Structure 1
Amino acid sequence: MGRFSDRVAIVTGAGAPAGIGFAVARGLAAEGARVVLGATSDRVHDRAAEVTAATGSDAVGVAADLTTEAGAQALVDAAVQRWGRVDVLVNNAGMTSVTAGWDAEEQVTDLTLAGWEAALARNLTTAFLMCRAVVPVMRAAGYGRIVSVGSTTGTTNAMPGQATYTAAKAGLNGLSRALALEVVAEGVTVNVVAPGYVATGSQLAFEQAAAAAGPAGRSGTPDEIAACVLFLAHESASFVSGAVLVADGGHGLPETWPVA
């Protein structure tokens, strides 16, 4: 019997095989949860099959655009129709700019309104829509755990050329804290895990160098971040709500590593 036996979970942004979302989905399933994996492409069906094969737990993939109300509702409906409820929501969908890096084109003075709105949509609106869709289900059950994967960017620091991503992740913290106050008396907790540099296979060269220069001397792993998510997603974390758990290997601590 695992920690999440008989629980039903939704994990968004779970389509990348080396990503945090897939690690979370696999971790929940290994502990007994039945899991809906969400992503924007059909590769999520492969991830769901891999979760089932590796853990024996029932998992289903749903390809949906979570920047739309219909897409968010589709994930919740998939869980409710298949298993009758949703106990855990992990908001992991999101990404940095498609031209991520120290790119002058992404500086605030050069951003287009369309670019700004698109970044907020994929990094913040996705979480808002998923929360809005799942909270009524959790309220009716008198139980729920919502954990969003944020970032140290927007929480403890910022990156040049990533104002939209930074603003969205800071907004995710605010959304989570406000929602936490609205639902905690009904048995639903809302928290954020804010990772630092994590080796997901899409890590940029400057991120790898910065992580190597930090106090831990390395990037984190998706499984290490998943462990933090699973802690907050468990029923035992019932008195933790509105919190932001930073997982960055001490990278953000002042005066712990040299800054070039």
Structure 2
Amino acid sequence: MKTYIVFGASKGLGDAFVRGVPQQGDKVWVVARSRPKSLDLEDCIHREWIPADLSDLHSATLVKDKLQNESLDVLIYNVGVWEKEGFEEHYTFDNDEPADISKLIQVNITSAIVCIQALLPHLRKADAGKIILIGSTAGLNNANSSQVSFVASKFAIRGISEALREHTREDGIAVTCINPGELAAEIPYEEGADRALSVYNGTRIPLQDIVSLVKCIVSLSRAACVKEINIPALLDANT
């Protein structure tokens, strides 16, 4: 039996992690602003919702207090907001508002750091704790993206992973950064990978593929550490 905590778990990839990674008898702390539908599942997995707004600096304390003295086997930080209309053709960095930039940095970077810091005592109680941060191929070199703040935040996730890995090495806590390309996040996990492949003709990665990677990482012994995985969509020429 394992205990998980998943940040950003109300929909998309986070919801897929909550549904697809744990096994019967496991417990999952689900961190999200809105109530996740996964709480209604009846699959012998215990899920607890922690309502939290990660744009609030105090959310880390809220999450830590909710866990009390419970140990954690796996922490998955899957949070990433981006610029307004950032993926539209007419988007330009010139129009980004300072307040929006600040919020993006808070959610994508600062919250990751302070939440992980707050939960390290819980992870140290596990036999083979694991921290998995979800980055993006936008945080890799030559990603051809003009979203300055979003790209900066995803580069930062990789940096956090590198330094955190060294910090937790003696604790036996493995830290992994996964950098997916464009995901078929609009296709609910329960509809299956075949539907995602059909809708996007293979140009976007089914959520099931990332879930499979995480399940593999979680299954590894405490002797192993997967440092970083880059997983672009095969048919995306930009990655």
TM-score normalised per structure 1? 0.77
Work out whether residues 139 and 153 of structure 2, in 8 Å CA contact, stay in contact via their aligned partners in 1: yes
Q: In the alignment, is residue 222 of structure 1 matched against residue 204 of structure 2? A: no
The residue number in structure 1 matching 2:154 is 169
State how 1:74-85 maps to structure 2 within 5 Å: 74-80=62-68, 84-85=70-71
Which one of 6, 12, 23 corresponds to residue 7 of structure 2?
12
| 1:103 shift after superposition | 5.5
Which one of 49, 52, 55 corresponds to residue 40 of structure 2?
49
The residue number in structure 2 matching 1:33 is 26
The 1:175–1:156 alpha-carbon spacing in structure 2 relative to 1, beyond 3 Å, is: same
The separation in 1 between residues aligned to 2:75 and 2:124, in whole angstroms, is 13
The 1:103–1:125 alpha-carbon spacing in structure 2 relative to 1, beyond 3 Å, is: farther
Which one of 108, 111, 117 corresponds to residue 123 of structure 1?
108
| 1:31 shift after superposition | 5.4
Offset from partner CA, 1:172-231 (integer Å, 9 cap, x none): 0001110000111211011111111111118xxxxxxxx99x9x8421111111111222
Q: In the alignment, is residue 86 of structure 1 matched against residue 72 of structure 2? A: yes
- For the residue of structure 2 that corresponds to 1:220, the secondary structure is coil
Work out whether residues 104 and 161 of structure 1, in 8 Å CA contact, stay in contact via their aligned partners in 2: no
Offset from partner CA, 1:52-91 (integer Å, 9 cap, x none): x1x211111111012334312333333346xx21111000
The separation in 1 between residues aligned to 2:222 and 2:135, in whole angstroms, is 19
Percent identity (aligned): 25
Q: For residue 58 of structure 1, what is the amino acid of its counterpart?
A: H
The 1:85–1:237 alpha-carbon spacing in structure 2 relative to 1, beyond 3 Å, is: closer
Q: For residue 171 of structure 1, what is the amino acid of its counterpart?
A: A
The 1:223–1:116 alpha-carbon spacing in structure 2 relative to 1, beyond 3 Å, is: same
The 1:147–1:251 alpha-carbon spacing in structure 2 relative to 1, beyond 3 Å, is: farther
State how 1:1-260 maps to structure 2 within 5 Å: 6-16=1-11, 19-30=12-23, 32-41=25-34, 43-44=35-36, 46-50=37-41, 53=42, 55-80=43-68, 84-102=70-88, 106-107=92-93, 109-141=94-126, 143-201=128-186, 217-236=202-221, 238-241=223-226, 243-250=227-234, 257=237
TM-score normalised per structure 2? 0.83
Work out whether residues 80 and 86 of structure 1, in 8 Å CA contact, stay in contact via their aligned partners in 2: no
The residue number in structure 1 matching 2:190 is none
The separation in 2 between residues aligned to 1:159 and 1:124, in whole angstroms, is 21
Over the aligned positions, Cα root-mean-square deviation in angstroms equals 2.7
- For the residue of structure 2 that corresponds to 1:179, the secondary structure is helix
The separation in 2 between residues aligned to 1:91 and 1:21, in whole angstroms, is 9
The separation in 2 between residues aligned to 1:237 and 1:106, in whole angstroms, is 45
| 1:35 shift after superposition | 0.1
The separation in 2 between residues aligned to 1:49 and 1:68, in whole angstroms, is 27
- Structure 2: where are the runs of 5+ without partners? 188-196
User: How many residues end up aligned between the 2 structures?
Assistant: 228
| 1:105 shift after superposition | 5.3
